[in-house]
Each structure stands twice: as structure tokens, then as C-alpha cells.
Amino acid sequence: MSPEASPAFIRAFFDPSVYSHPVGEVELIETHISWVLLAGEFAYKIKKPVDFGFLDFSTLDKRHYYCEEELRLNRRWAPSIYLEVLPITGTPQRPFLGGEGLPFEYALKMRRFPQEIRLDHLLNRGELGASHIDLLAKSLAHFHVALPAATVDSPYGSPERVLHPMEENFAQIRPLLRENEDKARMERLRFWSAEEAIRLRGELAERKQQGFIRECHGDLHLGNIVLLDGVPVPFDCIEFNDNLRWIDSVSDLAFTVMDLLDRKRPDFAQRLLNGWLEHTGDYQGLRLLRLYQVYRAMVRAKVAALRAAQAGHDAVSLEAMWTEYRGYISLAEQLSRPGTPLLLITCGLSGSGKTTLTQPLVEQAGAIRLRSDIERKRLFGLQALEKSGSAVNGGIYTTDASQRTYERLLELACQVIGAGYPVIVDATFLRRSQRDAFHDLASRLNVPFAILDFQAREETLRERIRRRQAANNDASEADMVVLEKQLANREPLSAPEQPYVIPVDSELADASRGMFSALRRKELFKQ
């Protein structure tokens, strides 16, 4: 919609003299629920007087309240961006920001940032890297874990509350559709969502009981995350609907993961998901991830349809909006299909390249990786990079601690497979009993199984361990003493295990490619 089609008071804000600070050219960003005026060093967000059911800005009092809520909520994430709520006084022809008199509107004042540093723009320019994804995973995980949980007696997070916005999406989209095929596709997705919510009703109730319903962001797509001083910072969280914000933290993350998939970066999507899981340990939430990803795709589909339904678009813009809508529908259909779980375990000494070389497999096979170094520390209340101060056979590295670690990995692998995902268990697996336990799990769950046997020369292992210790940025605490113990006590892969073994020479430049080729030959990985 052009600025000329905006209300008079919005057009009045294109006059630089309206502002109390230096302003050159004023720019307008418009969504289906707000106008954002970019003026000098600041941005002013004004809510539209609309009522979409899930959102009601129809009165001035409501718009004022939700401006204050937006300030409160977003300062949790981005205090340097969100500054204050200002009354708009004067007249629509000559408005004043923060002036005396009776307000006829309100604006949220924010510190302006270049739109080019939003993550969606960075991704489009090829400037979003794996390190940014890792930082985002860490910051989102830490934020989600720190949030207070909804009380058990609150209405939020109940199966009915979870299903309501999903049903609302379909109800609000339905009247906007004209093509029969669009209607049929939407109806299939509506039926799938309802059936999936019924199937997962017990898990939904359990998540609330366990404290995973929190006051989250609610709208975590890439366009709502900005790179400030090299750190991804979310902004523009949902303030207008408590039920859309008091949600499962997995639902919050699902939006970002879905958005990366929509933007054809499944590698980043899987990297983000795995990083978040490693930081939170919330592998149980995977059972709900597909339901929430479909829901998030439908949210974006609804936004596209609502924008298309608003007046003032030319034919080209209208067609682009419906193309965007159908793109999200296609993604939702893809996400609703069941996964193909399998179980891969690594086998190799410290420094043999297990974590490094399984990372591409995680990203390309859509797998979930469980790292023994991280899960061992989690069992003892330690963060991944926190040093335990343990001796070789003491502290968190006793025989009992190792047994508990492998039992926990077995439990988590069962959860991941039960959720329908391939799983890679990244551990040394130097004892046959450890390997047999996971082979038995694969047989019991009737999923394919393989052992990735990582190999490297001893001098290479020692050099890698020295470099890792110097960098001090990995969960592993293995040193030369640990390596010597492993060399002395490892149990070689037995003849009955050989049909499941995929050798990986980690010193080869194309080790990852060779591993992928071997997995394809065994028909374990078809991409």
C-alpha cells in the first residue's frame, strides 16, 4: 500500500518538522497491523485500528495498553531498541509526538537500526553464517530456560489453548480463499492438525505440568531478529494476545526453524535446532515439533492471505502475496509428513573427528545429535563448557558416571526416534557392551542401525587434542592421559558388528563425502 493511501495523520508524519529531533527523509513500513515510521535515528510504531479476532486494536485504550505491553515485553530481549511510549496529540493534520493535550493515538518509540542487519536480509545476501546460527541457538536457549513457567492452574498451555489458535488460523483463512484446490489443501492441513493435536494430547498436558509453558516471544521468524554488535537479538515479540505468547518454548523455536526451512536453508534450520537442544536438553519437546512447525507455517500463510485481502494492491503485488501463501501451504504439507528415523552411533578415540565430521550429517540428514560430553555434564549440573575438575577416573568420569551417561544417551535416543527423527549418538563407544545396547534399541524399535568407525593416527589424535585444549571452546575434557587410557582399554569392533560398520578415515580431506557415500550405499541416507 502506498503512503498516499494511508490515513491523514500517517501522511502528516512525513513532514520532518513534526519531530523534535533531526529528520531527513521519512520512510514508511506497513504491515497488516501497524505502521512504522523511520525518522532519523528513531522509529515510531503506530498500531492500526483493526480487529482480527486473535488481535484487537479497535479502540484507543486498547492500542495504548498494547503499546505499553510491547515496550515491557521487548525490553526483555532488546532494551537498547525499545525506548518509550509517546502520546500523539494535536490534530490528524498537525500531530505532535508527546505533546500536551488529549491523545488521539499512541506511538512506540524505538531506536532505529538498519533494516539490512535483520537476519532475513543477511540470509538473502549470503552474509548469515554458521557462527550466527550458533549464537542464536545459545541466546534463545538461555532466554527460554530463564523464563518463569506458567502456573499449573493458569489457562495457558492446555491442549484446548494450544489447538485454539491453530483452528483460528484455518477459520480466518477459509473465507479468503477462492480456488477449490486452495480450499482442499487447507482442509487437509486442518484435519491433520486436529488429529495430531488429539494424538499428542497427553504430551501437551505433560509439557504444561513440567513447566515448559512460558511467556515467550511468539513471533520468532528471521525478520524479527536483528544482528546488533555481532549478536542476534530478537525484537517485535507478540504483545497483542497472551495465548500466543504464553506458549511452549518448542513452539517459539519452531517458528525460526520453519522460517529457515522456508528460505531453503535446511542446514541452518537443523543446526539451530540441534544447538538449542544441546543448550536446553529439551529432547522431549521433539514430539511436538512437527505440529508446531505446521502451525507456524500456517501463521505466515494467514498473514500473506490477510495482506492480500486488504485493499490497495496492484495485480502484481496481489499475485506475489498469493504465491507466498501457497509456498507456506506447501511447506506445511511437507512438514506434516512422518519422518524416517534411524540410529547411528560413533566409535572412536578422543580427537578422531567424531563431532566435527558428524556436523554435516546433522545438517544434511535432518538428524538430531546427542553428545556424550554434553549429556554427561548435564547429569552433574554442569554447563557444556564448564570444567568439572575431575581426575581421569574420578568426579564425572568414574565407571558409574560413564554408565549413567550411556544409559541417559540410550533414553534420549529412544525419545528422538519415538519423535520420528534420525539420531546420531556422538560418544567414544569403546566398549562392545555400550555398542550392543544401542544395536538392541534399534532392533527393538525396528529402525536402521550403523556404527560410524572414526579412525586417525595417534600423532593426529594428540595434535587435535592439544589444539582443542588450547582453544578451550569444546565440551570435551579429554587430554593426553585420557587418550592413553582409551588406547589401552578399547575393545575392537567384533566380527558380528562388521556388517553395521562404516569406516571413516578422518584424516582424508573428503572424509565427510566418503561417509555420505557409504550411508547411501547402505540405503540409510537417500539425499
Grid cell for residue 356: 566435527
In the beta sheet, which residues pair with residue 204? Answer: none
**pLDDT tens, position by position, 179-233:** 999 999 999 999 999 999 999 999 999 999 999 999 999 999 999 999 999 999 9
Just give the CATH number of 119-335.
Answer: 3.90.1200.10
- Which residue type is seen at 126? G
Q: 3-state DSSP: the chain helix, strand, coil percent, rounded to 5?
A: 55, 15, 30
| Domain range list for the chain | 3-112, 119-335, 343-521
**Cell numbers 500523539: residue:** 88
Distance between CA atoms of residues 269 and 257, nearest Å: 5
Q: What is the per-residue pLDDT for 526?
A: 61
Map 408-459 to HEC letters. HHHHHHHHHHHCCCCEEEECCCCCHHHHHHHHHHHHHHCCCEEEEEEECCHH
- Could you confirm whether domain 343-521 is CATH 3.30.465.10? no
Q: Give the largest CA-CA distance in the chain.
A: 86
Average pLDDT, stretch 416-430? 97
**CB proximity list for 310: less than 8 A, separation 6 or greater:** 1, 32
* Alpha helices per DSSP H over 50-158: 60-74, 119-124, 130-146
Cα dihedral: 282, 287, 291, 293 (round 10): 40
Amino acid code (one letter) for 383: Q
pLDDT in tens, 362-408: 999 999 999 999 999 999 999 998 988 888 888 999 999 999 999 99
Q: What is the mean pLDDT of residues 31-49?
A: 94
Measured CA to CA in angstroms, residue 182 lies from 173, 296, 322, 330, 418 at distances of 10, 18, 10, 11, 32
337 DSSP assignment: S
The predicted structure's pLDDT at residue 4: 61
User: Which triple of cell numbers denotes residue 474?
Assistant: 569444546
Contact 123, 263 (CB under 8 A): yes
The residue type at 269:
A
Q: Which are the contacts of 443, defined by CB distance < 8 A and separation ≥ 6? A: 449
User: Looking at the predicted structure, is the pLDDT value of residue 522 above 90?
Assistant: no
Q: What is the mean pLDDT of residues 106-111?
A: 97
CA atoms lying within 13 Å on the CB side of residue 313: 19
121-125 contact pairs (CB < 8 A, 24+): 122/227, 123/222, 123/263, 123/265, 123/268
118-148 pLDDT tens trace? 999 999 999 999 999 999 999 999 999 999 9
CB 138, CB 274: distance < 8 Å: no
Mean pLDDT, the chain, rounded, equals 94
Summarised one tens digit per residue, pLDDT across range 341-374 is 999 999 999 999 999 999 999 999 999 999 999 9
Q: How far apart are CA 187 and CA 182, in angstroms?
A: 9
- pTM, entire model: 0.92
pLDDT of residue 2: 54
Summarize the confidence of residues 156-174 as an average pLDDT. Answer: 93
3-112: which CATH number, 3.30.160, 3.30.200, 1.10.10, 3.40.50? 3.30.200
* 8-state DSSP, 493: P
308 close to 321: Cβ distance less than 8 angstroms: yes
Region 314-333 average pLDDT:
93
pLDDT tens for each residue of 431-476: 999 999 999 999 999 999 999 999 999 999 999 999 999 998 899 9
Nearest-angstrom CA–CA distance, 366 and 266: 8
CA atoms within a 13 Å half-sphere pointing along the CA-CB vector of 145: 14
| β-strand partners of 451 | 345, 501
Name residues whose C-beta falls within 8 Å of residue 358's C-beta, 6 or more positions apart in sequence.
346, 369, 424, 426, 452
pLDDT-derived band at 1 (thresholds 50, 70, 90) equals very low
For β-strands 343-347 and 423-426, DSSP reports them as parallel
Say whether 61 sits in a helix, a strand or coil: helix
Cα 242 to Cα 69: distance, rounded to the nearest angstrom: 10
The pLDDT of residue 3 is 59
